[in-house]
């Protein structure tokens, strides 16, 4: 295993930020990880990198960056109704979605085209178009970075929430997720098309009785039409989470702004699209130097090339402040800020 010093991470983060890791290595197996943990290169300051699609670097990394390249998808068990897959953490998420479609395994088709690695998917319980990872998640294996022991986490221990898990909060940077096990359906697939523009997209393509591949195709086509491709414009998807507010506050907001959408998330709570709040504050399409707010989706902050992470963080803070001033609503970052 090669350790490289002063390694540029520009091509390894989807914001395309030109930052440098003091030390960098790529791991292909759990054994690689164990040997680096026992070597002189092991540093207290470790950063695990998957696809770099949910991270904003605001400074060079003073420590060791470990790029996870552990690959493998295995069907470990099957019965008439379900298939269990064990997937190594370095697999690309969308490659896994395609594998499932190929085998007609249902459950993650709504999560098509989400960038990044399988190992990072539990980090924020990835979600899109009404489906979250936790619905198919069984267990994960992770190496405790203090003891070197392998531990297994079930659904409850992961403390999944809305774009959250214990690995993004209490246990952040404490574990290296090496493998994820999912249970997919083989029959009676749950078709979720109530969200966003899925139904309209299927209707427009003349699909009346959609299967999982139709859902995936619809999601891919909507995503391609709405979201900037990081290969062309640097971004990390939604920068903020959609905030949930009190039902009474939502009623008040609706009186003032009849166009506001709200989605009930609990007896007293309503989720408001953060993109709408940001748009109302006049930020949509805003550009400053090489950075800005995407013109089609105000939730996505962008680096047109040459921008810095600290400039993006500053812009995010200004947006947060203006939403707080205008609506009294606090926006929280979804992206991991380093
Ligand atoms: P990275 O950015 O590499 O890492 C993210 C965090 O996880 C870091 O803190 C890192 O240290 C940690 N980490 C990574 N791998 C491991 C591991 N093996 N063990 C422990 N910690 C680890 N997200 C959604 O939920 N839904 C979407 O619909 C969605 N759409 C997106 C669209 C675009 C265009 C982009 C750019 C991003 C989108 N995202 C979305 C965000 C992102 O793709 C996901 O959060 C994805 O799971 C991140 O994976 P990654 O491998 O790139 O993680
Ligand atoms: P959209 O369809 O324009 O809708 C705006 C927001 O309203 C979404 O973020 C979604 O919240 C919420 N929403 C829409 N329909 C809903 C429903 N029927 N019930 C409950 N909530 C509903 O959103 P978009 O920006 O194009 O994104 C589409 C999906 O892809 C969303 O699920 C979004 O989270 C996901 N996505 C995520 C990222 C990321 O980086 N995290 C990037 C791009 C897209 P939720 O976000 O809570 O689902």
Ligand 1 within 6 A of CB of 92: no
Cα angle: 83, vertex 96, 161; to 5 degrees: 85
Ligand 1 within 6 A of CB of 122: no
User: Ligand 1: distance of its center to the CA of 119 in Å?
Assistant: 9
Active site residue 163: yes
Q: Which residues of 19-52 are buried (b: 16+ CB within 10 A; e: fewer)?
A: bbbebbbbbebbebbeebbeeeeeeeebbbbbbb
Percent of the chain clearing pLDDT 70 (strictly above)? 100
Secondary structure of 82-112 as H, E, C letters? EEEEEEECCCEHHHHHHHHHHCCCECCHHHC
Q: How large is the average pLDDT for residues 180-190?
A: 97
Of 91, 109, 132, 334, which residue is the catalytic one?
334
**According to the model, what pLDDT value does residue 83 have?**
98
pLDDT at 265 over 90: yes
Residue 54 CA: nearest ligand 2 atom is: 40
User: DSSP of 110-171, one letter per residue?
Assistant: GGTT--SBTTTTTTTT-EETTEEGGGTEEEEEEEETTT--EEEEETTTTT-BTTB-TTTTTT
Ligand 1 within 6 A of CB of 234: no
Report d(CA 87, CA 81) in Å as an integer. Answer: 20
pLDDT tens for 108-165 read: 999 999 999 999 999 999 999 999 999 999 999 999 999 999 999 999 999 999 999 9
Ligand 1 pocket mutation, candidates 46, 53, 87, 337, criterion most atoms within 8 A of CB: 53
pTM of the model: 0.97
Structural contact between residues 329 and 272, judged by C-beta atoms closer than 8 angstroms = yes
Instruction: From 118, 117, 121, 100, select the one nearest 109 (Cα to Cα).
Output: 100
Active site residue 288: no
Length of the chain: 338
Report d(CA 68, CA 25) in Å as an integer. Answer: 9
The band of 1, judged by pLDDT with boundaries at 50, 70 and 90, is: confident
Ligand nearest to the CA of 158: 1
| Strands 300-303 and 131-132, sheet pairing | unpaired
Q: How large is the average pLDDT for residues 155-177?
A: 97
Report d(CA 178, CA 185) in Å as an integer. Answer: 23
Residue 124 CA: nearest ligand 2 atom is: 41
Tokens at 317, concatenated: 């803070």
Ligand 2-lining residues (CB < 6 angstroms): 127-129, 194-196, 226-227, 237-238, 242, 263, 273, 297, 334
H-state helical runs in the chain: 30-37, 93-102, 198-204, 212-226, 247-256, 274-280, 309-327
Q: How high is the mean pLDDT of the chain?
A: 96
pLDDT at 44 over 80: no
pLDDT at 43 over 80: no
**According to the model, what pLDDT value does residue 117 have?**
98
**According to the model, what pLDDT value does residue 42 have?**
84
Calculated CA dihedral for residues 164, 165, 168, 169, nearest 10 degrees: 100
pLDDT tens for 292-309 read: 999 999 999 999 999 999
């Amino acid at each position: 295993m090669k350790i490289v010093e002063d390694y540029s991470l520009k091509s390894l983060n989807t914001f395309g930020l030109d930052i440098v890791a003091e030390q960098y290595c790529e791991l292909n197996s759990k054994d690689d990880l164990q040997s680096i943990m026992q070597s002189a290169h092991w540093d207290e300051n470790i950063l695990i990198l998957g696809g770099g699609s949910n991270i904003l670097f605001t400074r060079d990394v003073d420590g060791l960056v470990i790029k996870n390249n552990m690959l493998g998808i295995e069907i470990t068990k099957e019965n008439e109704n379900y298939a269990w897959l064990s997937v190594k953490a370095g697999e690309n998420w969308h490659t896994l979605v395609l594998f499932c479609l190929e085998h007609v395994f249902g459950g993650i088709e709504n999560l098509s085209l989400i960038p990044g690695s399988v190992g990072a998917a539990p980090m924020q319980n990835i979600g899109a178009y009404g489906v979250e990872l936790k619905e198919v998640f069984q267990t994960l294996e992770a190496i405790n970075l203090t003891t070197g022991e392998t531990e297994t986490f079930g659904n409850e221990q992961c403390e999944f929430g809305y774009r959250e898990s214990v690995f993004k909060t209490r246990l952040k940077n404490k574990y290296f997720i090496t493998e994820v096990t999912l249970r997919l359906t083989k029959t009676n697939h749950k078709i979720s098309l109530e969200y966003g523009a899925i139904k309209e997209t299927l209707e427009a393509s003349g699909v009346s009785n959609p299967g999982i591949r139709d859902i995936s195709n619809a999601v891919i086509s909507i995503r391609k039409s709405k979201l900037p491709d990081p290969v062309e414009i640097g971004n990390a998807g939604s920068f903020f989470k959609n905030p949930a507010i009190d039902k009474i506050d939502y009623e008040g907001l609706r009186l003032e702004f009849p166009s506001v959408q709200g989605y009930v998330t609990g007896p007293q709570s309503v989720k408001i699209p953060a993109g709408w709040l940001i748009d109302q504050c006049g930020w949509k399409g805003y550009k400053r130097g090489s950075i800005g707010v995407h013109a089609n989706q105000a939730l996505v902050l962008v680096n047109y090339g040459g921008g810095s992470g600290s400039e993006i963080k500053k812009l995010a803070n200004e947006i947060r402040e203006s939403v707080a001033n205008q609506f009294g609503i606090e926006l929280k970052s979804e992206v991991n800020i380093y």
